[in-house]
């Protein structure tokens, strides 16, 4: 903008909005024009305007004509679409234009027929159609009304230049209501699956907690919280819109819903383990006392140290296993006048006078029982090894039963049963001499033999 003479306040830019300025007027190029204006408006003070000597740039409403080397008036009535609104008619004038009622007859006298204005000196009518103007090569080029502010679009509208004209359109997301563009409330159209937030010119979809916007920015897809650092201590299960924490076996979910605490299985039942329950993180285990080993998961089984070779018995000893342990016994337990006849048998030779009142043989046997057996309990059966026709056998506990914890029940004349009469608690050990007295029918023969039975009572009920 601006030219050599653009100092006086009389110059004004071409009307931005001719519709709002039906009497838009600019650039009083001549006194004649001013006289005309005074005539129209009735009151104004005349002002001087200086004539420039030459132009290199043109003021508003003029354009440079290279041929004539002068500024040439622009016919705004042609270049500005709807330069005047409605009933008003557009009157081009030097350096500007006027909108006047069609009935203003006085204008027509002046319009186009008045003497040429002294300034600018040479004016050529625009030879181009509306919205075009000649360039240096005298061909018509489009006038960009939008950049040259020759449009009447509202601030709410976008101006689009078109060949020969321009267009006022609403921006995306706006709709023309009356003269103005107003925001479209897209949320009314249910574009969003969950929630919608209207924004000037657009909208945004939002999702409920546990969901996130899908690729189309409208639908909501479940968030897999488990993949995104859900605070589950042990296991996480994604579900629609949320997630669930679970715990491994042996743990229970804390009230907070996230953390897991160990379950003390041992406190639930005293029958989980035969001997001792030991709680561990996420599980429990059963322990057995010394001399026992775990059978399956909860039972304790005696370890036969004599079988496993875990014993420390010497060559001259025999290993005897019992519940919870073992014993090394001398293989030769025979004491004078007895002599050893086999691993566990001692014999008192009849030829030895010392043997006359002694049992003719002593057989060593060992057995093991558990504590607190229900009673009466058959624990050992004694059987005569040799049966003589007409002979009779009687059985008795000869020694070792001072408390009366055992008794003998005769089964027939060749066998008897050792019965535990009272519940006993180990660890404890009995050495019982079970005597078998053999008599013939005439009672003329009497022989005694002893079974020396060691009964180990284990410390436990298993």
Question: Using CB atoms within 10 A of its CB, is residue 171 exposed (0-12), middle (13-18) or buried (19+)?
Answer: middle
Q: Which is nearer to ligand NAG, 56 or 217 (CB)?
A: 217
| DSSP secondary structure code for residue 32 in this structure | H
361-369 β-sheet, strand order: 339-342, 345-347, 361-369, 446-457, 428-439, 392-399
> CB of 151: closest distance to ligand NAG in angstroms?
32
> CB of 436: closest distance to ligand NAG in angstroms?
13
> CB of 413: closest distance to ligand NAG in angstroms?
4
CB neighbour list of residue 42: distance below 8 Å, 6 or more residues apart: none
As a whole number of angstroms, the distance between CA 436 and CA 448 comes to 6
Question: Does the footprint of ligand NAG cover residue 444 (CB under 6 A)?
Answer: no
Pairing, β 377-383 against β 415-420: antiparallel
Q: Please provide residue 421's backbone torsions phi and psi, each rounded to the nearest 5 degrees.
A: -95, -30
> CB of 221: closest distance to ligand NAG in angstroms?
13
Question: Does the footprint of ligand NAG cover residue 392 (CB under 6 A)?
Answer: yes
Q: Show the binding pattern over residues 328-367: x = contacts ligand NAG (CB under 6 A), - = does not.
A: ----------------------------------------
Residue 377 near residue 401, CB atoms below 8 Å = no
**CA-to-CA separations, 324 to 149, 230, 303, in angstroms, rounded:** 110, 52, 7
Among 45, 103, 137, 216, binds ligand NAG (CB under 6 A): 216
Question: Does the footprint of ligand NAG cover residue 199 (CB under 6 A)?
Answer: no
Residue 21 near residue 98, CB atoms below 8 Å = no
Q: Show the binding pattern over residues 59-98: x = contacts ligand NAG (CB under 6 A), - = does not.
A: ----------------------------------------
Among 413, 419, 427, 433, binds ligand NAG (CB under 6 A): 413
Question: Does the footprint of ligand NAG cover residue 217 (CB under 6 A)?
Answer: yes
Q: Which is nearer to ligand NAG, 86 or 390 (CB)?
A: 390
Q: Show the binding pattern over residues 142-181: x = contacts ligand NAG (CB under 6 A), - = does not.
A: ----------------------------------------
As a whole number of angstroms, the distance between CA 113 and CA 337 comes to 173
> CB of 214: closest distance to ligand NAG in angstroms?
9
As a whole number of angstroms, the distance between CA 124 and CA 20 comes to 29
Cβ of 300: how many Cβ atoms within 10 Å? 22
The CA R_g of the chain, rounded to the nearest whole Å, is 64
Among 269, 390, 443, 446, binds ligand NAG (CB under 6 A): 390
Question: Does the footprint of ligand NAG cover residue 442 (CB under 6 A)?
Answer: no
Structure token pair of residue 460? 């436990």
Question: Does the footprint of ligand NAG cover residue 197 (CB under 6 A)?
Answer: no
> CB of 146: closest distance to ligand NAG in angstroms?
28
Under the rule (CB under 6 A), what is the footprint of ligand NAG?
Answer: 215-217, 387, 389-390, 392, 413-414
């Amino acid at each position: 903008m601006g030219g050599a003479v653009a100092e006086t306040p009389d110059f004004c830019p071409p009307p931005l909005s001719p519709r709002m300025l039906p009497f838009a007027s600019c650039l009083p190029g001549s006194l004649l024009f001013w006289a005309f204006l005074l005539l129209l408006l009735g009151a104004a003070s005349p002002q001087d305007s200086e004539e420039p000597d030459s132009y290199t740039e043109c003021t508003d409403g003029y354009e440079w004509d290279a041929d004539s080397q002068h500024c040439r008036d622009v016919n705004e009535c042609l270049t500005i679409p709807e330069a005047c609104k409605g009933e008003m008619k557009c009157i081009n004038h030097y350096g500007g234009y006027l909108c006047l009622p069609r009935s203003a007859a006085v204008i027509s006298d002046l319009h186009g027929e008045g003497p040429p204005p002294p300034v600018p000196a040479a004016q050529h009518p625009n030879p181009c159609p509306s919205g075009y103007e000649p360039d240096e090569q005298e061909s018509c080029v489009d006038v960009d009304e939008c950049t040259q502010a020759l449009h009447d679009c509202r601030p709410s509208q976008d101006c689009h230049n078109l060949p020969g004209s321009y267009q006022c359109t609403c921006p995306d997301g706006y709709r023309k209501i009356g003269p103005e563009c107003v925001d479209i409330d897209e949320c009314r159209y249910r574009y969003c699956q969950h929630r919608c937030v209207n924004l000037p010119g657009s909208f945004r979809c939002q999702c409920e907690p546990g969901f996130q916007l899908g690729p189309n920015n409208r639908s909501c897809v479940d968030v897999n919280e488990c993949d995104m650092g859900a605070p589950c201590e042990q296991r996480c299960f994604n579900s629609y819109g949320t997630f669930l924490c679970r715990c491994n076996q042996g743990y229970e979910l804390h009230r907070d819903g996230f953390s897991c605490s160990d379950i003390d299985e041992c406190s639930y039942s005293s029958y989980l383990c035969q001997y001792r329950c030991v709680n561990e993180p996420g599980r429990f285990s059963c322990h057995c006392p010394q001399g026992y080993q775990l059978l399956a998961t909860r039972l304790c089984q005696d370890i036969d140290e004599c079988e496993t070779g875990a014993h420390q018995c010497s060559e001259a000893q025999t290993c005897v296993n019992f519940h919870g342990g073992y014993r090394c016994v001398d293989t030769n337990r025979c004491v004078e006048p007895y002599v050893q006849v086999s691993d566990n048998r001692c014999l008192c030779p009849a030829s030895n006078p010392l043997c006359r009142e002694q049992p003719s043989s002593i057989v060593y046997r060992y057995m093991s029982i558990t504590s607190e057996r229900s009673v009466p309990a058959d624990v050992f059966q004694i059987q005569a090894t040799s049966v003589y026709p007409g002979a009779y056998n009687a059985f008795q506990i000869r020694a070792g039963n001072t408390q009366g914890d055992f008794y003998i029940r005769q089964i027939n004349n060749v066998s008897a049963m050792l019965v535990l009469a009272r519940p006993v608690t180990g660890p404890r050990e009995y050495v019982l001499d079970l005597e078998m007295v053999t008599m013939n029918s005439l009672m003329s023969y009497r022989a005694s033999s002893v079974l020396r039975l060691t009964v180990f009572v284990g410390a436990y009920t298993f």
